Homo-oligomer: A and B are copies of this chain.
Amino acid sequence: MPKRTDPGRRPTLADVAARAGVSAMTVSRVLAGNYPVAPPTRSKVLRAMRDLDYVVNAHARALAGAATRTVAVVLDDPTGPFFAFIARGVEQQAASEGRLCLLCTTHGDPEREAAVVELLREQRAEAVILVGGAQDTATYTERMTGFARALDRSGSRLVLCGRPSPGPGVPATVVEYDNEGGAYAMTSYLLANGHRTIAYVGREPGLSTTDERVAGFRRAHADHGAPLDESLIRPGAFSRGGGRVATEALWAERADVTAVFAATDMIAAGALQALRGRGVRVPEDVSVVGFDDIPLASDLTPALTTVHVPHEQLGREAVRLSLHRGPDLDDRVMLGTHIVVRDSAAPRRP
């Protein structure tokens, strides 16, 4: 089976050296450029490399001690807009730092996640970036601590991107964004617009992002002296369907709500569907806002007022921080969020 057209071996350093009439080391030096090589020699070597179509072997290079110049992103699913933008940030920053980017998916399966981490240990990736929300439980913390230590032992750096930190003393980099602050700002915006009966739709208990967003929701109420009715914090799945169902259920119970703060833009999309189905006008009768600022948000009718999460920057920071980091064992960065005002929220009608 002719696996390749040309059965000849691919050329090696030695081949180039032979053709140029120099030693392998000289060729290596021309490649690396970290050692003086006489100009005539250099051009002879370059000539030979071109003639033979020489390409270095990245594996040999990695084996000989150099870094692998590879970072890895691990995510649930590359098709979600949220993750896709983070992946883009990672890839961009990796490229601009001269690194290649490995992409692995887990589909939320912890076993597969562990398998992937093991694979990446074999690869000696410089950084392994785990992306996406997670249940903030003791089990989670242990798992992450285990990953962090294991990767550290094999010379890689674990980066948690948009995930809770496993705590101090663990060799990992954490890149977060301000869920609490974003929810606080958005809730304040609704309160300032006169809303007093605001439902928070789509709480998934235990999920770290949810908890932080609810905390911001609470703090805003407290700071504005607005009483908060706990029954207005509604559970629901992180999907359009979840948002629709949760909103239906909410309206069946109480029709005095004047604003809906959806836990995510996707949930907001579901909420809009549900409200449209009931003939409720947005934003005239009810204001609806979301969280994430995915492209869908500006496509909805009405365009969604939401909290912007700097997805792409999150990915970039993950790479940047993990590659250039100080002597500290762990480090951590939190990126800001801000609200984006579009058309789906309005002052409360008298």
* B residues near A301, Cβ cutoff 8 Å: 301
Chain A interface residue count, Cβ-Cβ cutoff 8 angstroms: 55
A4-B123 Cα distance, complex, nearest whole Å? 17
Among the listed stretches A50-58, A183-191, A251-259, which one makes contact with chain B, having 4 or more residues with CB under 8 Å of it? A50-58
* B residues near A171, Cβ cutoff 8 Å: 4-5
A327-B58 Cα distance, complex, nearest whole Å? 28
Interface code A26-47, partner B: CB below 8 Å = 1, 0 otherwise?
A: 0000000000000000000000
A265-B80 Cα distance, complex, nearest whole Å? 18
Contact partner, A101, options B77, B104, B118, Cβ 8 Å? B104
**Interchain CB contact under 8 A, A58 and B122:** yes
* B residues near A103, Cβ cutoff 8 Å: 73, 87, 91, 101-103
Contacting B at CB under 8 A, from A53-103, are 53, 55-60, 62-63, 68, 73, 77-79, 81, 84-85, 87-88, 91-92, 95, 100-103
The answer to the question of A155 belonging to the interface, with a C-beta cut-off of 8 Å to chain B, is: yes
Shortest distance from the beta carbon of A293 to any chain B beta carbon, whole Å = 13
**Interchain CB contact under 8 A, A57 and B10:** no
* B residues near A88, Cβ cutoff 8 Å: 77-79, 105
| Nearest-CB residue, chain B, relative to A119 | B100
Q: Top 4 closest A-B pairs, CB basis?
A: A103-B103, A59-B62, A58-B122, A59-B59
Shortest distance from the beta carbon of A6 to any chain B beta carbon, whole Å = 6
Interface code A262-290, partner B: CB below 8 Å = 1, 0 otherwise?
A: 00000001000000000000000000000
A5-B122 Cα distance, complex, nearest whole Å? 18
* B residues near A81, Cβ cutoff 8 Å: 79
| Nearest-CB residue, chain B, relative to A75 | B91
A79-B104 Cα distance, complex, nearest whole Å? 16
* B residues near A123, Cβ cutoff 8 Å: 58-59, 100
The answer to the question of A153 belonging to the interface, with a C-beta cut-off of 8 Å to chain B, is: yes
The answer to the question of A150 belonging to the interface, with a C-beta cut-off of 8 Å to chain B, is: yes
Beyond A4-B155, A79-B81, A101-B104, is A124–B59 a contact (Cβ under 8 Å)? yes
The answer to the question of A299 belonging to the interface, with a C-beta cut-off of 8 Å to chain B, is: yes
Contact partner, A79, options B85, B124, B299, Cβ 8 Å? B85
Contact partner, A10, options B6, B95, B119, B153, Cβ 8 Å? B153
| Nearest-CB residue, chain B, relative to A311 | B79
